[in-house]
Structure 1
C-alpha cells in the first residue's frame, strides 16, 4: 500500500466541462455510452435503462453517445426516452452512420460474437445493413432522430467502416461535411476500434472528433505511436472509449471478454498483472483504467457504458478518486505501461 502522504495525480472531475477540440461543443470529461443499456451481453429492461440514464444525469454527465447498432435500436430508443425529460440544449448528443436496421434483411455476421452468440440480448428482430452511401447516411440520421426522439444530433460519426474506408471517404464524409456546413450537425468524425483507418480519415478528410475504442487504454497504448500525435497536430479531438477493453479491466475472471470476444489467456494474464500493481497502491484497477486516457492532451473525454444506477455511481466515484503518482511509475517500470504515455493532468 502506498504512503498516504505520497503526492497524488491531480485530475479533472467527471463533470468538468471540456471543449471538444476545435468544435463549438462542450462535453463533460466523463460521458455516457448507450451500448450497455442496449443490452450488450446482458439483457436490460426499459425501466433499468431509464433509471441508468437518470442516474447519469443526476451525477452531472452531459455527454451522451449512441448508435443504431447498439442493441439494434434499443440503445438509441432507451437513451432518447431517458433524456426526454431534460432540456435539449443542456447536453451533447452523438450517434453514428453507416449501419441501417432492417427487418427484411438477413442476419449480419457482425451481430454475433465468435461463438455465434448475439452481442445484444433482447434486441429487436432486425438485422444490421451496412450502407455508407450518401442516401444511407441521410436515412441513418433520420432514423436515429426518430429513435432518439429529438430534432438534431450534435455529433455524427461514421461507424466502424473497417472494410469500407474508400466508400466512407468518397461518400459518407462528404455528406457529413455538407451537414456540418449547413449547421445540421456541429461536429463530424468516426468511431472505430483501430487507428490506421482513422489516420487516413485525418489526412484525407476534415473530421473534428474521433471516438477510439480500446486502443488507448491501461491495457494497450498502440495509439501513442502515430495516431494521437497526428490528432494533436491537426486539432482533432479524441474521445477514449472501451477503456475497460470490453470489460476485461473491470473483471478479469472467468468469461472475461476482450475486443468483444472471449479474452485470450495472455491478455487475461496481463490484466491480472495490472491489477496486482494497482492493489499494491490501494487503487482499484477500474479507477486507473478510467483515468489513464485523459492524461493525454489529445484526449478530450472518456466514454463508458453502464446498465444500472450502481454502475454509474461506481464509475463516477472511481473517475474522481485520487491516484498516487507511484502507481504510474511502477506500471512503467514493470513494462505494463508505455513510458511515452502521459500521466497526471495536462490541463
Structure 2
C-alpha cells in the first residue's frame, strides 16, 4: 500500500490506516482474540499505520494494539497515539464507562491536561500500555475546549520532543475544522486528523481547514468517512455522527447509493475514496472491531472508481460542482 509523507516530517502514513477506537470496546465489547485478528487482517491488507489513544476504552485500545503489533519489525509500521487526557486510577471501581462510549469497567477517571507536564506524563503512560519505546506521531486529542492551553503549553512540549527526536511528527485531532484551522495557522504541526467533516455528506472542511493545510504544507488524515454508519449502510434508523440520521440525510445517502450502483461501485468504496480528491489529504483512517470490517474497508479502498460516478454525483446535485474528486489511480 502506498506511503505518503506527513507534512515536512520523516514520518509516513499508508493511504489507509487502522483506527483503534473499536478495539477499545467502542459502544460494544469485543474480546482480545477478535481485536488481535482485526490488527492481523489490517497488516495482511498492507496497512502499516495504526492509531490509538488513552481515551479509547480507558487504555484498552493501546494495550491491545501494542500486544497485536508486538514482534513485528518496528521499522515497518507507523504508530500514533494522543495526549490531552490523563487516566487516573479510581480506588474503588464501580460500573462501566458507557457514559463515555466504551464498554469497559470504569477502572480509571479521565482528566483533561494539556499542560507540558501532562503531555509528557500522558505519553509516558501510553508507551507503557503500548509496550514500546517510541511512537511516530502524537496528536493533541480533542482540545476544543482547551485550545489556548493546548497551543501555549502542550504544543511547545511536543515541539521539544520532536526536536529531540523522541517523536517524529506532531498532530491534532478533532471532529471540527475551525479549531484545527487555528492549530494549522498558529503552529508547525505536521498533520491534522479530522473526523466526519470531509465526507460525501459533509464537505465543511473545504471552507477553512483544507485550504489552510495546503497553504502551510500540513497533511490531513480524514476519519469518520462513513459518518458513523450512514454511508456504510444507508437506511432509516442508520446513524450520522453517532445519532439517528435525519430523514433528509438518509434520502441523500440512498440516492448516492443508487448512483454508485449504476456505476457498479458500492457506496462504501466511494465513501472511502472521496477524500483523496483534495491534494492536502494524505490518508483515510478507518476504525474496525474485527477482521471482516477492516478487510472489507481495504477491499473497498482498492476498487476502481469510474470518473463518471463523480460526474453524476455532481450533475445530480448530490455533490457540489466545485468539490475536488479523485482522479484515476488516486
Q: Which runs of 5+ in 2 are unaligned?
A: none
Cα distance in 1 between the residues matched to 2:43 and 2:182: 35
The structure richer in helix per residue is 2
Which of 234, 243, 253 is the aligned partner of 1:261?
243
Residue number in structure 1 paired with 2:28:
42
Residue number in structure 1 paired with 2:48:
62
Q: Deviations over 1:15-57 (max 9, x none)?
A: 1122222211122111101011111122110010011111111
User: Which deviates the most, 60-69 or 309-318?
Assistant: 309-318
Q: Deviations over 1:58-102 (max 9, x none)?
A: 111111101111122111111111000201111111110001122
Equivalent residues in 2 for 1:147-186 (5 A)? 147-186=129-168
Equivalent residues in 2 for 1:199-278 (5 A)? 199-253=181-235, 255-278=237-260
Given the superposition, is the C-alpha separation of residues 344 and 132 from structure 1 closer, same or farther in structure 2, using an over 3 Å criterion? same
Residue number in structure 2 paired with 1:102:
88
Q: Which structure's relative contact order is higher, taking Cα pairs within 8 Å and 6+ residues apart?
A: 1
Which of 304, 309, 313 is the aligned partner of 1:322?
304
Cα distance in 1 between the residues matched to 2:325 and 2:124: 41
**Aligned to 1:269, what secondary structure does the other structure show?**
helix
Given the superposition, is the C-alpha separation of residues 36 and 179 from structure 1 closer, same or farther in structure 2, using an over 3 Å criterion? same
Cα distance in 2 between the residues matched to 1:118 and 1:201: 26
Given the superposition, is the C-alpha separation of residues 84 and 124 from structure 1 closer, same or farther in structure 2, using an over 3 Å criterion? farther
Cα distance in 2 between the residues matched to 1:105 and 1:244: 39
| 2:178–2:208 CA contact under 8 A, matched in 1 | no
Cα distance in 1 between the residues matched to 2:234 and 2:196: 16
Deviation for aligned residue 1:126: 2.1
Normalized against structure 1, the TM-score is what? 0.89
Q: Which runs of 5+ in 1 are unaligned?
A: 1-14
Deviation for aligned residue 1:278: 1.4
Residue number in structure 2 paired with 1:310:
292
| 2:27–2:102 CA contact under 8 A, matched in 1 | yes
Does residue 17 (structure 1) correspond to residue 32 (structure 2)? The answer is no
Instruction: State the Cα RMSD in Å.
Output: 1.9
Cα distance in 2 between the residues matched to 1:211 and 1:106: 35
Deviation for aligned residue 1:328: 0.5
Q: Which runs of 4+ in 1 moved over 3 A?
A: none
Cα distance in 2 between the residues matched to 1:140 and 1:180: 16
